[in-house]
Amino acid sequence: MFEHIHAAPADPILGLNDAYRNEPNPNKINLGVGVYKDEQGVTPILQAVKQAEERLLNQEETKSYLSIEGSPAYREAVQKLLFGEDHQIISKKLAQTAHTPGGTGALRVAAEFIKKHLPEATIWVSNPTWANHQSVFQSVGLEVGSYAYYDANTKALDFEALLASLSQIPEGDVVLFHACCHNPTGIDPTPEQWYQLAKLCSKQGFLPLFDCAYQGFGHGIEEDVQGIRTFLDYVPEMLVANSFSKNFGLYNERVGALTIVCETSEQAEATFTQVQRCIRTNYSNPPSHGAAIVAEILNDKQLRSLWEMELKSMRTRIHEMRSLFVNTLRVKGVTQDFSFISQQQGMFSFSGLTPDQVAQLRNNYGIYIVGSGRISVAGITHENMNPLCDAIAAILKD
């Protein structure tokens, strides 16, 4: 029965982790997957999370099922974080949120919802984008197209080309935007550019789907969702898939959400029942623990300010590593200009290294980065900075 089945190719990001585990080089460095590491090279459990878990352990009374869409406290907290406490989207009940297993779960539910209810829609993703986006959408049979985003020569956003691409997208299609800390380039539109994109979206009539996986890792919690909030001023409908893996360090708890915004509260309620159906036929209802932690933190003043402080310190450390990385490459005699790395936002630096150079880093130095040249800056520490930059300097000389 299974003889005709061949092995699938390794996942371009998570597959690297498996290869890294088997890497014999004692000086190996893993800068592949986007996972935050502290100065000790450890992915810490945040203090706010530990304290919330203690409370939950004492308070928890049942392990009975959550509802299909998850707990009300979590769903409300997600909306406030994305849209702002006083936004009319919340007071007018124009949004409905479902707790999903991670941001990927949210994207997958969105994909199924789009395939079922907008079956003619093509979904457009930036070129480049997160290595899993296309596969998630294709797995439900959606057509996936790509729009211009990155200029490899200037190592910056090609905004003219982006506008030109999006101007070709017809009414009724779906366009995926990275809310902040674009993965893999780390390059986001400016507030003025978001405004232009929102106006274009309203003119063209395509549906925006925001992937918001790094809120708080760019400029700040509020600043990082300005793109979403600007769009809300111009478009009546939107989908937002968000993840709390990185900003709460809850990677293995799989906490995310899918939010749908509609023109009226009646429409939001009706549409949401179809989102619930997608969930019921997929994983039935979400796991409780991670979302309970997020809700406990966001709904408690003291825990929330502790979390904000810890998030700020992760963000600051990454910014420091970016500058140090650029300086250390210079000190090691690298003449190419890598200063663009200190302008990029979020966990990743899109280094411009070629696939061949990426292979040399891995084969000759045991340094693992993604094939696109994406380096997880969140995994760079003072300790691994020198060997990393020595290796890059050496391969650039070859």
Task: Tell me the closest approach of the beta carbon of residue 208 to ligand LMR, in angstroms.
Answer: 20
Task: Tell me the closest approach of the beta carbon of residue 127 to ligand LMR, in angstroms.
Answer: 16
CA atoms within 13 A on the CB side of 357: 17
Q: Which residue of the set 37, 115, 124, 130 is catalytic?
A: 130
Paired with 124 in beta bridges are 145, 175
Comparing CB distances to ligand LMR, the nearer of 104 and 226 is 104
Comparing CB distances to ligand LMR, the nearer of 28 and 80 is 28
CB atoms within 10 A of CB 75: 20
Residue nearest to ligand LMR (CB): 34
Bond before 128 cis per omega within 30 degrees: yes
Among 79, 97, 126, 183, binds ligand LMR (CB under 6 A): 183
Q: Which residue of the set 158, 173, 188, 211 is catalytic?
A: 211
Task: Tell me the closest approach of the beta carbon of residue 13 to ligand LMR, in angstroms.
Answer: 4
Task: Tell me the closest approach of the beta carbon of residue 103 to ligand LMR, in angstroms.
Answer: 8
Comparing CB distances to ligand LMR, the nearer of 183 and 345 is 183
d(CA 117, CA 139): 16
Task: Tell me the closest approach of the beta carbon of residue 39 to ligand LMR, in angstroms.
Answer: 20
Among 29, 34, 194, 380, binds ligand LMR (CB under 6 A): 34
- The size of the interface with ligand LMR (CB under 6 A), counted in residues, is 6
Active-site residue 397, yes or no? no
Which of the residues 203 through 222 are near ligand LMR (CB under 6 A)? none
Which tokens in the block code for residue 296? 């406990």
Task: Tell me the closest approach of the beta carbon of residue 398 to ligand LMR, in angstroms.
Answer: 27
| Under rule CB under 6 A, residue 33 binds ligand LMR | yes
Taking every pair of Cα atoms in the chain, the longest distance, rounded to a whole number of angstroms, is 63
Contact between 173 and 124 under an 8 Å Cβ cutoff? The reply is: yes
Task: Tell me the closest approach of the beta carbon of residue 348 to ligand LMR, in angstroms.
Answer: 7
| Number of helices and strands in the chain (H, E) | 14, 13
d(CA 117, CA 140): 12
Which of the residues 260 through 299 are near ligand LMR (CB under 6 A)? none
Contact between 197 and 188 under an 8 Å Cβ cutoff? The reply is: no
Q: Which alpha helices (H) appear in 187-264, and where do they start and end?
A: 191-204, 226-232
Q: Which residue of the set 124, 224, 246, 307 is catalytic?
A: 246
Which of the residues 92 through 151 are near ligand LMR (CB under 6 A)? 130, 132
d(CA 212, CA 234): 19
Comparing CB distances to ligand LMR, the nearer of 33 and 94 is 33
- DSSP letter at 340 equals G
CB neighbour class for 163 (10 Å; exposed up to 12, middle 13-18, buried from 19): middle
Residue-wise DSSP of 301-332: HHHHHHHHHHHHHHHHHHHHHHHHHHHHHHHT
Measured CA to CA in angstroms, residue 145 lies from 33, 161, 169, 308, 368 at distances of 25, 15, 10, 37, 29
Measured CA to CA in angstroms, residue 178 lies from 156, 182, 396 at distances of 15, 5, 31
Comparing CB distances to ligand LMR, the nearer of 129 and 165 is 129
d(CA 348, CA 344): 8
Which tokens in the block code for residue 395? 């391969």
Which element (helix H / strand E) includes 235?
none
d(CA 341, CA 326): 7
Contact between 176 and 125 under an 8 Å Cβ cutoff? The reply is: yes
Task: Tell me the closest approach of the beta carbon of residue 128 to ligand LMR, in angstroms.
Answer: 12
Active-site residue 211, yes or no? yes
Residues acting as catalytic residues: 130, 211, 246
Residues binding ligand LMR (CB under 6 A): 13, 33-34, 130, 132, 183
